[in-house]
Amino acid sequence: MSRRLPPLNALVVFETAARHLSFTRAANALHVTQAAVSHQIKALEEWLGVELFHRLGRGHGLVLTEAGRHYLPRIRSAFDIIRESTATIDSKRKRVLNIATLDSFGYHWLVPRLSGYSRQFPDVDVRILSADLEADGLAKGIVDIDIRYGEGDWADVEAIRFLTESIFPVCSPAIVTAAKPLATPADLRHHTLLHDVMVTDWRGWLEAAGVTDIDTEHGPGFNHSHLVTQAAMSGAGVALGRGALVVDAVRRGQLTRPFSLSIPSRFAYFVVCSSGAARDPVIAGFREWLLAEGALSQKEIDALDTNPDITAGP
């Protein structure tokens, strides 16, 4: 029996193309051209002496041949063994775990909790990368875990929801005065509205509160949630707070929640990794820690809905 190995790079390309059933999507995932993927697959098929894919024509993708269907699970198993063996041989060194997250969530929620993870997993060094919405760090191998905000409808990944949120007004306690109270939602007409222009809209909350005569376009806007939250803490006005991003500031007294009404967000936070990556004990450990932290934080967010912080003016 021949012990010659096929071209290893072609095997990586084959596994990626089989996962996506598309040379174009495989090329995007590998950050190479479609022609390069096609060339690698052709070279592997010639080396093996069999076809691995049926080409269905432009726009119709690929289907694995019988040989390809038998070959694929063995190649994936071999890759898993290589990954696990590499992790084992490097076990005496600190493992680096690369995590992508959106700026605001990282700033307000994740980073303040990371010390707890480091105490629990002292042999892992975490690297936090600001997520680029135009790039898939998982597919390109840049990150091990991606913390995403959305509806969870991402293909070819494992996504677990760990935190939901509600939306409600928040402000610095210092701006609530006898001259400018916040006793009812209608009192918002006496305050500056701060706008998270990429995520939330005052119109929906005010309509739910039964207030229709406030200009929802007036006031400064910010394209990152951590900026509008910071503006609210500094006393610049009233913001629509996203529960996960303001719960700690409310607990510390930096922000107050003047009204009990909240509206649900259609989006939630998900911990996302490549399919099968959770077999890696470091990735699995971080995911389990994140789920536990999310559950604790969720209780605090839900408690804000049950017992809102009503601030009375002097």
pLDDT in tens, 42-58: 999 999 999 999 987 76
Residue 54 lies in a domain: yes
62-64 and 124-130 as β-strands: parallel, antiparallel, unpaired? unpaired
Residue at a domain's end among 54, 89, 124: 89
Query: Is-contact 140 257, C-beta < 8 A?
Result: no
- Distance between CA atoms of residues 258 and 222, nearest Å: 22
* Predicted local confidence at residue 312, as pLDDT: 33
Domain end, chosen from 68, 89, 110, is at 89
The predicted pLDDT at position 270 comes to 96
Sign of torsion, CA 89 90 93 97? negative
pLDDT, residue 307, reads: 60
Q: According to DSSP H, which parts of 31-138 are helical?
A: 34-48, 66-89, 103-105, 111-120
Q: Count of CB atoms within 10 A of residue 274's CB? A: 19
CB 162 within 8 A of CB 270: yes
Q: Is residue 71 located within the same domain as residue 22?
A: yes
Identify whether residues 145 and 288 lie together within a single domain. Answer: yes
Q: What is the predicted pLDDT for the residue at 313?
A: 35
Is 149 in the same domain as 272?
Answer: yes
Q: 99 lies in a domain?
A: yes
30 and 155 housed in the same domain: no
* 3-state secondary structure at position 94: coil
- My answer on whether 46 and 173 are in the same domain is no
Q: Identify the domain boundary among 89, 114, 139.
A: 89
Residues 243 and 254 in one domain: yes
Judge whether 30 lies within some domain. Answer: yes
Strand 157-170 to 263-274 pairing: antiparallel
Determine the Cα–Cα distance for residues 75 and 52; give it in Å rounded to an integer: 13
* Whether residues 257 and 210 fall in one domain: yes
Q: Is the domain of 100 the same as that of 70?
A: no
Interatomic CA distance for residues 144 and 97, integer angstroms: 6
Cα 133 from Cα 145, distance rounded (Å):
14
Same domain? 72 vs 146? no
Residue 141 backbone zone (phi > 0: left; psi -120 to 50: alpha; other: beta): left
pLDDT of residue 276: 81
pLDDT beneath 70, residues of the chain: 1-3, 58-60, 87-93, 132-135, 306-314
pLDDT in tens, 271-301: 999 888 888 999 999 999 999 999 999 999 9
**Domain range for residue 231?**
166-263+301-306
Is the Cβ–Cβ distance between 101 and 110 less than 8 Å?
Answer: yes
pLDDT at 230: 95
| pLDDT for the residue 61 | 76
Do 279 and 258 fall into the same domain?
no
How far apart are alpha carbons 18 and 7 in whole angstroms? 17
Residues 147 and 176 in one domain: no
* pLDDT score at 197: 84
Distance CA 311, CA 151 (A): 34
233 and 173 share one domain: yes
CATH number, domain with residue 218: 3.40.190.10
What is the CATH classification number for the domain harbouring 51? 1.10.10.10
Give a yes or no: residue 56 inside a domain: yes
How many domains would you assign to the chain? 3
Q: Is 231 contained in some domain?
A: yes
pLDDT at 1: 42
- Using CB atoms within 10 Å of the CB of residue 154, give its burial: 0 to 12 exposed, 13 to 18 middle, 19+ buried: middle
pTM as predicted:
0.69
In a domain, 312, yes or no: no
φ, ψ for residue 64 (rounded to 5)? Answer: -70, 140
Q: Is 2 part of any domain?
A: no
Q: From the CB of residue 18, how many other CB atoms can be counted at a distance below 10 Å? A: 21
Task: Name residues whose C-beta falls within 8 Å of residue 296's C-beta, 6 or more positions apart in sequence.
Answer: none
Q: Which of 164, 185, 177 is nearest to 247 (CA)?
A: 164
The answer to whether residue 290 sits within a structural domain is yes
Structure tokens that stand for 208 in this block? 């739910």
